[in-house]
Structure 1
């Protein structure tokens, strides 16, 4: 057996699977804090390895030597020090002697016999294809994936006169076999290090060490409330919140929203450029791995969840394609998911993250308030959980009974499953959202549910941090697509225009900019519920004597913009006391005003405009007449505002947040069709007859066809009624605790 004796201790972290741990029901995150605190003072020392993994040509051998030199520990190259020593011949000779298939088998046997500790190990490019061998190696340390763009690898191999690699069958291109191998690297890695084409081995080695340090120290990635003060945080270090905690809790105990204490990770220009050729799933994996600490969700598990979320559930191979509209305007199509809105990007992902992080000993009821699209997206996402998870996780969706489009309503009712229900409320979205916030902060009620039914409440609205992260990905991906299409060189700025009511989509774009995407301005587009437009222009947020106006773009029919709080916290230099003062004033007096300095910072980032109902419909008609493309009502709002506010000095990306099929009645009216059948399915068939771009959303059409029983519960705008609905659902789905 090949064995390396350790010369110098090497401090590394091992992982604990949160989902296998049972947390206390009354405080479901307490154990998370306990084990992380324990880990920080009991890190394993002296018997772990840093294991470098990646395709041939990634630089594993060279980087491994530099890392070993910096750490003063042994370096093992599997090719040179294990395989050639074992076989007593060179790797190339062995490959010629036995062929690819036998070579891989011999390589597997050698890897299973290998043992080392306290070392830096460089694997072969094909080692990760051996499950048993990798399981053996993984037990000895932390696996670092050197992720190099395929085009760079091919260029390096060509310069080394290598035109075939191990396992490459006749007729299979080098590009295809490299792409095939990525699935194995995704499966085994603990850490990913992005390596662009012009990055030196010395820089890669430093990135490896930095990544290992991050892996060791989850204490650096805690979350705080937007209403907490610095003094409170410094005095209460024992109550750290981590990603898994805030995913479960949703809303902070003081009524604020959770944000990362140290901000979001920054990507270098080279790191972003290394993702230009990447698929949407690959981009999502890279970005989210940097935002979710592996102590909460291991990188390989996170990658698996991302594939589950986006692999087959979206009806476009590019997931979030960017389409040229006219001039320097581009559409970011966010409606290719199963429920035809941008909400699918978060809500195909979050349920699986949630199921992984919550304790097995507790039932969870996820509460949602929606102004339209969120409801069906949440219901669909949570209904796709594994059966064992659906037995302990249910979702209840509250929506304004008369405040969504007929198709949205039919879709929400049709998406009801055994663990997912919709409740219509005789009020508007703001009431639904406020009611859920009040329920979460009602400790007597939540405590009663815990004791009586063994059930805790959680949130899946955009107030939950995990809802925002996937939105950051598609803003970054849209920019990279424009670079890939040759529209702009990397580093050139773009503007974005986003229809918004709750500010989450705009905030995600601003976060993408903080992470290194060159977004110059965010244009906020409102409909006639233009409270955000007024605020961005004046600094006054005023709800007094303002009533919600039902419009053709119901997802923007919002007056209380929740995620604005996170943005104000950011530009106010994390002054939680100021944020608390502003929102207390909004709650008690119906308005607040920010100072001139804060308004100046805000207006450096944001401009805003609003669109009337007539202009919205006119834009749909105009775009269809000139291009054959149909905008949905929300995208039309953004198109109108973009036309008015963009300065045309750089491209502008308009977020197309929903498919027009969801608003067929308004679209038919915009297209000036006189006789309209009130049946939603008939409306979609009529639209399809116009051969529009994009085609009618088939997933939505199928849902409407088979929606069956349209019964759903409707309740009055009364807190006690909503609480009663919640208890009734719990009684029917979860067992009572005796």
Structure 2
């Protein structure tokens, strides 16, 4: 094998944001070819001197689709089977296979492809070409590899009609399905673009999708991001001011204090495309969805695939990653607690650090700041601790949490997850202060500029204000629906409701985004605890913080009054009116409230309903469910269960997001189950719960963390933004080299 040097065009950056001050002229990430994509465009041809290379399993339609694409582009078409192999060998492919056997055939096939020299053509590969590395590297040098991704079941049916019962590489005792599955790893390795081919798609329709995908690949400059507070008149379209996925991952918060969103919205998958994912694994679904949301100019498909496989691998205790379990009646639980820190935050924070490390320039150090109401802290510390050593040397993390506003087990987790590049600080205040203080630090240009100049360090965010935190959450909402279809609970196209315990509005926003992308979600039910500002807002359109005091509850992850991601949803239903969003949030900041216009409230209420749950009802629900099913809900899931019981109309299934494992809230669970609470450490509480043989079992990762770190301490600071800033500088001084 020999290396491929592949770069995307330069992107000139002129803004003096903390991230960009590190590097005014930045090379973006490696992608598919050594020339700028503009070289592909001409007034006469989509291709220029590049090839479009169709790849996929036998029966995918590569030859037929290739001919149609060639006709549309008015360019030569090369079928590797007919025009390369049989011409080279002077015999048919089947005769050659019989003559030399599987292993030698693959080598001979690869050698023949190495001799191919073409430009401005459409090339249809054989199904087995991707198994030969050197020849694939050869064709990729002057071409764009398009993967025709057809569901295995569809391929099996097509091959049966074609009377094909064996394919290249299939040895004794290996089924046709097994060899098709085996080949997927090679298709994932080599493709630049994936085209989902639903079973009923015509060759003409697939050809159109190929052309659309190639155009998208070429035009990375069209997939830009804007701030939720950007005014239409002031939205500059100059290339130098454009924000791309890599930029928003790096910067986190927009310079004007708003949140980044895709300027042209999220992509929508057709019903056929979603149906092609019904039998797919969670990792396969994640790659398809994220490929459509992240342009390959920012992260190439093969690299993204490696990141996803790393994120959702052995660090999850359930092979299904996000399984859907029947609870009772037409209620289903989406179990989001099988990650290493036992909460739904792992779904984003096992993948986000790798995305972040890939996207940020190598010339800067980065300190990731996090405000947490409990689960985010340990999840972000664990996620960033899994980076490669070289990345950990240039990326550090600091998490701020309310010292008395998280459970003892959550606090023990955060303390135990501290590493050489990661610190956790308790703040003598509530989550809203922590979140507001971090936003103030990000928008303090004097301070961020000082850190950049003095230490060569830029600040970044890993809260759900960062788009890379929110994006992976779309996947599990889509996956849950597909699982219900795969389990024959519903037919594809039938609606479901979802009920999500939420305080910061990120998790429920991800469900709303999944709906926008084509998942048939009817209603999103927003479940609050006694901090029910969101319930009041959804019902009345008034977001009112005047006189409100944050109430500590047994579901601390939703003990939030200022819901950051609500801003993204308001921007969406206001049709991108950033000026209106800016006015609303300025009014909230200055006057403590705002009122949504009637038309926008009606629009919101078409998608979202809301309810809240008292502490008493939360604990009663945990006891009731355990008594009738033997299953233990955590306190947040119990909030959602109570609200779902009150608001669902039972005409369709409802998926309740189980956002954390009950092990994290052992004292509250012991009270709910009416087990005498013991005044012992968290580890003893978990052992007591385990003795009841609960379903699901006590989270093993949590047990291991507590065993390792029973006696470790942590720093505590006053509720003063300047004090938080001093802790930030102290970590930078100890971890990064000062710039002279």
Kindly report which structure 2 residues correspond to 1:309-388, keeping only aligned pairs within 5 A, or say none.
Answer: 309-388=311-390
In structure 2, C-alpha distance between the alignment counterparts of 1:541 and 1:675, rounded to whole Å: 38
Q: How far is 1:665 from its partner?
A: 1.0
In structure 2, C-alpha distance between the alignment counterparts of 1:174 and 1:82, rounded to whole Å: 26
Kindly report which structure 2 residues correspond to 1:301-700, keeping only aligned pairs within 5 A, or say none.
Answer: 301-700=303-702
- 8 Å CA contact 1:33, 1:241 repeated in 2: no
In structure 1, C-alpha distance between the alignment counterparts of 2:306 and 2:592, rounded to whole Å: 45
| Pair 580,736 (structure 1): closer, same or farther in 2 beyond 3 Å | same
Q: Which of 14, 24, 27 is matched with 2:21 structurally?
A: 27
Q: How far is 1:687 from its partner?
A: 1.1
Q: Which of 178, 181, 196 is matched with 2:180 structurally?
A: 178
Kindly report which structure 2 residues correspond to 1:212-361, keeping only aligned pairs within 5 A, or say none.
Answer: 212-234=214-236, 238-361=240-363
Q: How far is 1:47 from its partner?
A: 2.1
Q: 3-state DSSP class of the match of 2:337?
A: coil
Q: TM-score, normalised by structure 2?
A: 0.96
Q: How far is 1:72 from its partner?
A: 0.6
Q: How far is 1:238 from its partner?
A: 3.6
Q: Deviations for 1:438-485, whole angstroms, at most 9, x for unmatched residues?
A: 000000000000000000000000000111110000000000000000
Q: Deviations for 1:233-277, whole angstroms, at most 9, x for unmatched residues?
A: 156554110000000000000000000000000100000000000
Q: How far is 1:27 from its partner?
A: 3.0
Q: Deviations for 1:353-409, whole angstroms, at most 9, x for unmatched residues?
A: 011111111100000000000000000000000000000000000000110000000
In structure 2, C-alpha distance between the alignment counterparts of 1:79 and 1:31, rounded to whole Å: 45
Q: 3-state DSSP class of the match of 1:471?
A: helix
Q: 3-state DSSP class of the match of 1:629?
A: coil
Counterpart in 1 of 2:44? Answer: none
Counterpart in 2 of 1:54? Answer: 56
Q: Deviations for 1:4-30, whole angstroms, at most 9, x for unmatched residues?
A: xxxxxxxxxx752999x9999753575
| Pair 151,274 (structure 1): closer, same or farther in 2 beyond 3 Å | same
- 8 Å CA contact 2:220, 2:295 repeated in 1: yes
| Pair 257,29 (structure 1): closer, same or farther in 2 beyond 3 Å | farther
Q: 3-state DSSP class of the match of 1:482?
A: helix
In structure 2, C-alpha distance between the alignment counterparts of 1:705 and 1:500, rounded to whole Å: 30
In structure 2, C-alpha distance between the alignment counterparts of 1:100 and 1:34, rounded to whole Å: 41
In structure 1, C-alpha distance between the alignment counterparts of 2:8 and 2:677, rounded to whole Å: 62
| Pair 482,436 (structure 1): closer, same or farther in 2 beyond 3 Å | same
In structure 1, C-alpha distance between the alignment counterparts of 2:26 and 2:538, rounded to whole Å: 40
- 8 Å CA contact 2:40, 2:49 repeated in 1: no
Residue 201 of structure 2 is aligned to residue 207 of structure 1: no
Alpha-carbon RMSD across the aligned residues, in angstroms, is: 1.8
Counterpart in 2 of 1:9? Answer: none
Gap runs ≥5 in structure 1: 1-13
| Pair 244,681 (structure 1): closer, same or farther in 2 beyond 3 Å | same
- 8 Å CA contact 2:15, 2:241 repeated in 1: no
| Pair 387,113 (structure 1): closer, same or farther in 2 beyond 3 Å | same
- 8 Å CA contact 1:73, 1:119 repeated in 2: yes
Q: 3-state DSSP class of the match of 1:365?
A: strand
- 8 Å CA contact 1:506, 1:524 repeated in 2: yes
- 8 Å CA contact 1:33, 1:240 repeated in 2: no
Q: How far is 1:675 from its partner?
A: 4.3
- 8 Å CA contact 1:33, 1:239 repeated in 2: no
In structure 1, C-alpha distance between the alignment counterparts of 2:141 and 2:57, rounded to whole Å: 21
| Pair 413,462 (structure 1): closer, same or farther in 2 beyond 3 Å | same
In structure 2, C-alpha distance between the alignment counterparts of 1:297 and 1:713, rounded to whole Å: 37
Counterpart in 2 of 1:102? Answer: 104
In structure 1, C-alpha distance between the alignment counterparts of 2:429 and 2:469, rounded to whole Å: 25
| Pair 230,237 (structure 1): closer, same or farther in 2 beyond 3 Å | farther
In structure 1, C-alpha distance between the alignment counterparts of 2:645 and 2:441, rounded to whole Å: 42
Q: Deviations for 1:202-251, whole angstroms, at most 9, x for unmatched residues?
A: 00000000000000001211000000111111565541100000000000
Q: Which of 61, 80, 83 is matched with 1:81 structurally?
A: 83
| Pair 431,32 (structure 1): closer, same or farther in 2 beyond 3 Å | same
Counterpart in 2 of 1:5? Answer: none
Q: 3-state DSSP class of the match of 1:231?
A: coil
In structure 1, C-alpha distance between the alignment counterparts of 2:232 and 2:15, rounded to whole Å: 29
| Pair 34,332 (structure 1): closer, same or farther in 2 beyond 3 Å | closer
Q: Which of 8, 13, 23 is matched with 1:16 structurally?
A: 8
In structure 2, C-alpha distance between the alignment counterparts of 1:415 and 1:604, rounded to whole Å: 42
- 8 Å CA contact 1:265, 1:290 repeated in 2: yes
In structure 1, C-alpha distance between the alignment counterparts of 2:65 and 2:512, rounded to whole Å: 35
Q: 3-state DSSP class of the match of 1:230?
A: coil
| Pair 39,138 (structure 1): closer, same or farther in 2 beyond 3 Å | closer
- 8 Å CA contact 1:334, 1:658 repeated in 2: yes
Counterpart in 1 of 2:3? Answer: none
Q: 3-state DSSP class of the match of 1:115?
A: coil
Runs of 4+ in 1 over 6 A off after TM superposition: 21-25, 33-36
Q: 3-state DSSP class of the match of 2:424?
A: strand
Q: TM-score, normalised by structure 1?
A: 0.96
In structure 2, C-alpha distance between the alignment counterparts of 1:93 and 1:666, rounded to whole Å: 71
| Pair 18,404 (structure 1): closer, same or farther in 2 beyond 3 Å | farther
| Pair 163,41 (structure 1): closer, same or farther in 2 beyond 3 Å | closer
| Pair 30,215 (structure 1): closer, same or farther in 2 beyond 3 Å | farther
- 8 Å CA contact 1:329, 1:653 repeated in 2: yes
Q: Deviations for 1:107-154, whole angstroms, at most 9, x for unmatched residues?
A: 121122222111100111111111111111110110000000000011
| Pair 522,674 (structure 1): closer, same or farther in 2 beyond 3 Å | same
Q: 3-state DSSP class of the match of 1:541?
A: strand
Q: How far is 1:689 from its partner?
A: 1.3
Give aligned pairs, total.
723
Q: 3-state DSSP class of the match of 1:228?
A: coil
- 8 Å CA contact 2:14, 2:240 repeated in 1: no
- 8 Å CA contact 1:18, 1:357 repeated in 2: no
| Pair 18,641 (structure 1): closer, same or farther in 2 beyond 3 Å | farther
- 8 Å CA contact 2:501, 2:657 repeated in 1: yes
In structure 2, C-alpha distance between the alignment counterparts of 1:263 and 1:675, rounded to whole Å: 50
Q: Deviations for 1:482-537, whole angstroms, at most 9, x for unmatched residues?
A: 00000110000000000000000110000000000000000000000000001111
- 8 Å CA contact 2:8, 2:28 repeated in 1: no
In structure 2, C-alpha distance between the alignment counterparts of 1:422 and 1:17, rounded to whole Å: 39
In structure 1, C-alpha distance between the alignment counterparts of 2:234 and 2:720, rounded to whole Å: 35
Q: 3-state DSSP class of the match of 1:232?
A: coil
